[in-house]
Amino acid sequence: MLHLVPTPLGNLKDITLRAIEVLQSADVILCEDTRTSSKLLQHYNIQKPLSPYHQHNEHKILQHLIDQLSGGKHFALITDAGTPGISDPAFLLVRECIKNDIKVECLPGATAFVPALVNSGLPINRFVFEGFLPLKKGRHTLLTKLAEEERTMVLYESPIRLVKTLAELITYFGAERQCSISRELTKLFEENKRGTLQEVHDYFKQKDVKGEIVIVVQGKA
């Protein structure tokens, strides 16, 4: 069977007891970066074989993994941080497992957009998760569509593109739209900055931005 196992965003204590048990019982642990995952496994004294599974090789090794799973292997899939499949590899393997009647279970656990959304102070009864915006093709079309979205919107962004993206959101949504920026969630230098798009843009424009970024934006009134 295949287990999807969420891993901590930063604080290594943010892992469930069940996740540790599943990782200890797996035949092989599939991971994005063996160096990153090794730190987590060493911390919990989990000694299992690691095998790379990421966006650059997932198509190439897909059938090989299905053959092994069909033969009785137990794989646990983890990413560098958070829940597999949320802006990270997992979808292709899960879909193929379902097609081949291979059991798939996803454990509950860390996902960056959930704490960012909940602590944003914006309405969370209805929201839309967009992940990373397209870098080029389709970006204008999507932003034009999102400008009319009434639900709270959740985006992921890299630190090097944050200020540019906030400037674009001002252009499409208006400078007074409320938002919340969360970065380095669960880590020592966690920061949550709230205000209008213009206010947070001006704030981060003066900073050397680091860490993973979650942008939460108010829907259209």
> What does the pLDDT read at residue 119?
97
pTM for the whole thing?
0.93
> What does the pLDDT read at residue 202?
98
> What does the pLDDT read at residue 192?
97
Cα 81 from chain centre: 7
Can you spell out the DSSP letters for 50-81?
EEE--TTTHHHHHHHHHHHHHTT--EEE--SS
All residue ranges of the chain with pLDDT < 50 are: none
CATH class of 2-106: alpha beta
Q: Could you tell me the residue ranges of all domains in the chain?
A: 2-106, 113-217
Which amino acid, one-letter code, is at 186?
T
Of the candidates 151, 36, 161, the one whose C-alpha atom is nearest the C-alpha of residue 88 is: 36
Tell me the per-residue pLDDT of 8-17, one tens digit each, with 9 for 90 and over: 999 999 999 9
> What does the pLDDT read at residue 42?
97
**Total residues belonging to the chain:** 221
> What does the pLDDT read at residue 208?
92
Tell me the per-residue pLDDT of 183-212, one tens digit each, with 9 for 90 and over: 999 999 999 999 999 999 999 999 999 999
CATH class of 113-217: alpha beta
